[in-house]
Amino acid sequence: MANKKSSSLANKVKQKVKQKVRQKTEKEVKKVVRKIPLKYKIAALIVLLLCVVSTFFLPEDPLYESLAKPHDMILAVRNRTIRALHLPISCYGDHAQVLTAGRDPVMIYFAPSPVICPALCEFINNAVSTIDLCAYDLKHHAIADALIHAKNRGIKVRIVTDSDYMKNDAISRLSQAGIPVVQDRSSSLMHNKFVIVDSRYVWTGSYNLTYNCTEKNDNNAISFESPEIAAGYQKRFEQYWNQKFSTKGEVLQDSKQTFIGKIPAQYAFSPVDQVEKILLDQLSNAEKKVDIMAFSFTGAKLAVKLRELMRKGVKVRCIFDVGQSKNKASRDEYLKKIGAKVYYSPNRKGKLHHKVMIIDDKTVITGSYNFSKNAASRNDENILIVHSTSIAAHYTREMNRCIRGIKGY
């Protein structure tokens, strides 16, 4: 008991000594500051403000490799500040366009971002006759507002969603506005996130129409003009509309290899189109490198294919969502053991929700398809494959910024 009292007394003495030292130091600092002429204080304040303002013009990529770490640190702090203050400005290159002959530009969007939701609303607002929207989860009221506004101006609007999200407030508002909504009513997921406008324009990617996917999660979306691809998505939508979900769907008879302007492209729907086989075939074409951004990667065949590629000298780089990597079926540890460069997303406030492969810096595979057994055999999903070095460059840049952790998480 005596030892405890003496220990407590000693701690109090130490705290008092520390307090006196701190007070004395503060007084000395104040004395020094008082002696500094006012003009120098003003100059120092101006320099400080200029330093803060200059960070807003800091380029996303460092000018010199030797400055990469401090550059990324400053960039991350700046972008976190922008998000913390809820400023409606982009923290990074969150959208891009790629020109293609004879068609509207291909538009690419990355999240979290203040740009992606308004872009989808504008995509909807540009409709002249029809909007067919297939959404796993629709919670964002700005998107619901755009759809209701479209319906009120005479556009034919139809919605397909997953039965788990039929009770969302946004879906209820759409139904109350007279917009027909069909749900899948099955144990599998209707996991698509695509929109078809005027049977000519398509929006697809990993972006769920929710606040989290807008403001927290790493996502991508791509929109483009292609009547041929739109027709394929339209046919699949009609199957959903007629309750042909999951394995009840029918294989489309028309060719799924087509173009966006002059950009070669291909699309497919899971589970009926054997998407896993298509992915394996695309990976077989890899000669130099494969980059993967994946929310979920549990596919055994895909992991084995990557091992086969690495044995041939192909470099494999992956970034995974932290939460999903804890899944026992996740292949991240296996990929590390066989020599792939594996990163875990620094996004701790949201999820790395991408489902992307980039092959040899010229082929991009995106869509709703998680690289999992359920996605391959049960869930309703779509993939889009585009062969374009320009589009691949934008997705590679997104992967690099996800690895660097500069997006303002």
Burial (Cβ within 10 Å: 0-12, 13-18, ≥19) of residue 211: middle
Tokens of 168: 């969302």
Q: How many whole angstroms separate alpha carbon 119 and alpha carbon 150?
A: 15
Tokens of 324: 């999903």
Catalytic residue among 71, 140, 191, 305: 191
- Give yes or no for a contact between 148 and 178, defined as CB atoms under 8 angstroms apart: no
Closest CA to 228 of 395, 103, 377, 84: 103
Omega prior to 271 cis, within 30 of 0: yes
Q: How many whole angstroms separate alpha carbon 118 and alpha carbon 160?
A: 21
Q: Is 251 helix (H, G, I), strand (E, B) or coil?
A: coil
State the pLDDT at residue 22.
80
State the pLDDT at residue 10.
67
- Bridging pattern class, strands 156-161 and 130-135: parallel
Q: How many whole angstroms separate alpha carbon 274 and alpha carbon 383?
A: 11
Whether 193 is a known active-site residue: answer yes
Q: Return the sign of the alpha-carbon dihedral for residues 244, 250, 251, 257.
A: negative
Which residues neighbour 218 within 8 Å (Cβ) at sequence distance 6 or greater? 110, 111, 112, 293, 345, 347, 350, 351, 352, 353, 354, 402, 407
State the pLDDT at residue 9.
65
Whose tokens are 């740009």? That residue is 115
Whether 61 is a known active-site residue: answer no
- Name beta bridge partners: 344: 320
Catalytic residue among 139, 193, 353, 354: 193
Q: How many whole angstroms separate alpha carbon 167 and alpha carbon 169?
A: 6
DSSP secondary structure string for all residues of 153-164: TT-EEEEEE-GG
* Domain spans of the chain, in order of start: 37-89, 95-404
Catalytic residue among 198, 360, 361, 373: 198
Instruction: Give the global pTM.
Output: 0.88
Distances (CA, A) of 327 to 3, 332, 379, 403: 50, 10, 19, 21
Domain 95-404 has CATH 3.30.870.10: yes
Per-residue pLDDT of the chain (409 residues; tens, 9 = 90+): 555 556 666 677 677 767 777 877 777 777 776 778 877 667 666 665 655 565 667 889 887 888 899 999 989 999 998 999 888 899 999 999 999 999 999 999 999 999 999 999 999 999 999 999 999 999 999 999 999 999 999 999 999 999 999 999 999 999 999 999 999 988 999 999 999 999 999 999 999 999 999 999 999 999 999 999 999 999 999 999 999 999 999 997 666 789 999 999 999 999 999 999 999 999 999 999 999 999 999 999 999 999 999 999 999 999 999 999 999 999 999 999 999 999 999 999 999 999 999 999 999 999 999 999 999 999 999 999 999 999 999 999 999 999 999 999 9
Alpha carbon 67 to chain centroid distance? 27
Lateral strand order in the sheet of 201-205: 95-98, 106-111, 219-225, 201-205, 193-197, 130-135, 156-161, 181-183
- Give yes or no for a contact between 325 and 348, defined as CB atoms under 8 angstroms apart: no
Tokens of 109: 């969007």
Q: Which amino acid is at 173?
A: R
